[in-house]
Amino acid sequence: MSVEAETLEARRTQTRELVAVIALTGTILIVEVVGGLLSGSLALISDAGHVLTDLLALVLSLMAARLASLPATPEKTYGYHRLEILTALANGALLVLISAAVLYKSFQRFATPLPVESRLMTGVALAGLLINLLALRILSRAHRSLNIRGARMHIVGDALSSVGVLAGGIVIGVTGWYRLDPILAGIIALVIVIGAVRLVREAADVLLEATPSGIGLDQVSAAIGTVPGVVEVHDLHIWSITTGLPALSGHVRVDDGRHGRSDEMLNRIKQMVRDRFGIVHTTIQIESCAYQELGDVH
């Protein structure tokens, strides 16, 4: 199966998994709203608002996964791959905002703790945690997509929130110490914001066409230079079309005596780059030593 076919199949799998996770997240939302109203737990109601935000983010992820699987067109020659990066960036930024709101609310709750019906609060939190774990299992099937990673981080945030509410409900039921709830919420928010900032940075790197993580530009240039007949490598660029889909372009100056076999050399270079660095999409310009460059060289 070609890389393009494998990528398309992976995106179809992502779509199916996101639909299942959206259904589970919607179930959590309903359970927490009903449980919060019945128990009088503001923590559960607040967490339901968090879940609602995540549900909307998951719907955006689903839309991006479906659009990314659309074929390329004469106007959009790379297709719609970058939509999942834009969605990952939006999800990461949304997570940062959610974390900031949770931290703010935690300070308020710590100053003025509110009593809740701890048994119902604990039961609802446990149900939410179990559903979140099921959703994480669905999304744990090793996708490297930033879009799926963003969706997974939303589910992780919900699961951690459920753990915090569950632990808080148990301790509140035993000790009556209501301030534990905002303390746990603050810790969870800090954990989420660290991952969210990393996600935003990686998405921004793709949009800025930075060299993909794990691939060294100098290493690739040196490797191309070891191919017999290669004199110089310049104007080399490596970037990601989307996660897991790196691309390369560059100019290779070759020995004039071998220039007649440039097609053979080109295939050797492309094969080496593919085998050693996993870069399939390559655009390489073969030049003779006498060639005079026109235009800007970056």
Q: Are 173 and 125 in contact (CB under 8 A)?
A: no
CATH of segment(s) 3-207: 1.20.1510.10
Query: What would the two tokens of residue 25 be?
Result: 């997240």
In whole angstroms, give the CA distance from residue 120 to residue 173.
10
Burial of 137 (0-12, 13-18, 19+ CB in 10 A): exposed
Global pTM reads 0.74
Question: Which CATH number, 3.40.50.620, 3.30.70.1350, 3.30.465.10, 3.40.50.1370, labels domain 217-288?
Answer: 3.30.70.1350
Q: How many CB atoms lie within 10 A of CB 216?
A: 13
Q: Which amino acid is at 285?
A: Q
- Extended beta strands in the chain, E state: 230-242, 245-254, 281-288
Short-list 21, 194, 218, 185, CA closest to 103: 185
pLDDT tens across the length of the chain (298 residues): 555 555 556 667 777 788 888 999 999 989 988 988 887 777 787 777 778 877 877 887 777 667 766 777 888 887 887 887 888 888 888 888 888 888 888 888 788 887 778 888 899 989 989 998 988 888 776 555 666 777 788 888 888 888 888 888 888 888 888 787 778 778 777 877 887 888 889 889 999 999 998 899 999 999 999 988 888 999 999 999 887 789 999 999 988 665 457 788 889 999 999 999 999 899 999 888 877 776 666 6
Domain(s) labelled CATH 1.20.1510.10 in the chain stretch across 3-207
Distance CA 144, CA 141 (A): 10
Give the type of residue at 118: S
Residues of the chain with CATH 3.30.70.1350: 217-288
d(CA 28, CA 135): 11
The predicted-structure confidence for 195-242, as pLDDT tens digits, reads as follows 788 888 988 999 999 999 889 999 999 999 998 888 899 999 999 988
Contacts for 87 with CB less than 8 Å, ≥ 6 apart: 60, 61, 63, 64, 147, 150
pLDDT at 221: 94
